A = this chain, B = another copy of it.
Amino acid sequence: MKSTGKSVIAGNAAYVRPIDFKKGRVEMGHGGGGRMTMQLIDTLFLTAFDNDILRQMNDQACFSVPAGRMVMSTDSHVVSPLFFPGGDIGSLSVNGTINDVAMSGARPHYLSASFILEEGFPLSDLKRIVESMAKAAHSAGVPIITGDTKVVEKGKGDGVFITTTGVGSVPDGIHISSELARPGDKILLSGTLGDHGIAILSLRENLTFHTSVQSDTAALHELVASMIQAVPAIHVLRDPTRGGLATALNEIARQSGVGIKLREDKLPIHEQVRAACEFLGFDPLYVANEGKLIAICEPELADKLLQTMRASPLGRDAAIIGEVIADPHCFVQMETIFGGQRVVDWLSGEQLPRIC
C-alpha cells in the first residue's frame, strides 16, 4: 500500500500532482490530515524511515517486548541553525533521544518522531533532514516506527521542530540513576567538552568567528552497552547536553545529595574549542555536548571502566575528571590548573539559546 518516489496512486488517494522536492515548499495542507498529508507521508517519511512496523500505518505502532523494566524519554529539538558542521536537526534528534534512553543503561529499541513544520519551509531542506534522521536511525539500529506531522502558518514556527521519543529496555541487574552517586566514587568523562556548542556558535549570525570544530552529535548506546558489560555496577550515567558539564554535575550532586570535586587539568578540551571559548567569553564547562557522557562508579572499578571507554571510538579521549565527596550543600567545586578552588555553579539564565 506504499508508494515510492514520484509514483501516483490510482483510485483512492490518487495524487493530483507529485510533490516537488526540489523547488516545493511546505503548505498548510501538508498538515491537514488529508490527501496532501498522506502524499507527504508516502513519498517522504515512509520511503526514508522504511520499516515493517511503520508500514502498518496505524495511528500507533505495535511491537513485542520482553517482561521487565522499560524506559521512555522525550526531547523537542529546536536547534538553530538547522544544519551545522557535523550534523543537523535530524541526526541530532535521533542521537539525542537514543542517548537519553541509553543513560539508564537501557538498550534503545524504537523511536517516534513528530514534526512541526512552518508554512513555506523548503521541501528540499525537509527531505535532507528526514534522510539524515533515517541514516542516523539506521546506523544506530533504532528504527522510527511512528510519527506525526503538523504545519503552522508562516511566522508561527521556525522552519522545523522535531520531537523524538524513545523506548528501551533495561538489562536485568542494571541499576543506573542520577541519585546513586556516593562519596568516594570516581567521575569519568567520555571525551572532549564543548564541541557541539562551539560548532553551532560558529554559524550563528552576527558572529564573524570561524572554526573547524564539528558537532560531536553521536549515538552513545553501543558505548554504554560495552561499559555496562565490563562494569555492570556503574552508579550514574548522564549526557551533558544543554547547560554542559557544569549543569549535569549539579543535577547529579543535588539528586544524590553529595558534593563533587573536579580537576580542571584532567578535563579534555580541544585546543580550538578552548581558544574559541576564551575569545568569546564562554566557559567550556557550560557549553553543550551531544556525543559525550559522564559515568560515575566506585573507585576500584574506575580504571577498568576507563579502559573500556577508551577502547571505543566514541570514548577514546575518556578521562577520570574528579570524584564524589560528602557535602550537605551539594556543591560542585573545581581545583583549577593554578591550584585554586572555584565553585562550579548552575547555569544562570541562558548562555546559548536553541543549542539543541
Contacts and interface: CB of A to CB of B under 8 A. Distances in A.
Interface of A: 1, 10-13, 16, 27-29, 31-38, 56-78, 100-101, 103-104, 106, 110, 112-116, 145-153, 155-158, 161, 163, 165-167, 170, 177-179, 238-239, 241-243, 247, 250-251, 253-255, 257, 286, 288, 328-332, 346-351, 353-354
B73 A60 contact: yes
Nearest to A108: B60
A interface SS class: mixed
A146 B60 CA distance: 19
A343 to B, nearest CB: 10
Contact of A330 (B12, B67, B330): B12
A66 B70 CA distance: 10
A10 to B, nearest CB: 8
Contact of A38 (B28, B65, B113, B346): B346
A62 B106 CA distance: 9
B65 A67 contact: yes
Instruction: Identify which of A58, A151, A331 gathers the most chain B CB atoms within 10 Å of its CB.
Output: A58
A19 B16 CA distance: 52
A58 B165 CA distance: 15
24 contacts: A11-B328, A12-B329, A13-B330, A13-B346, A29-B350, A33-B241, A34-B247, A34-B286, A34-B350, A35-B349, A36-B350, A57-B251, A60-B166, A61-B73, A62-B69, A63-B71, A64-B70, A65-B69, A76-B115, A76-B149, A78-B152, A114-B163, A157-B157, A163-B163
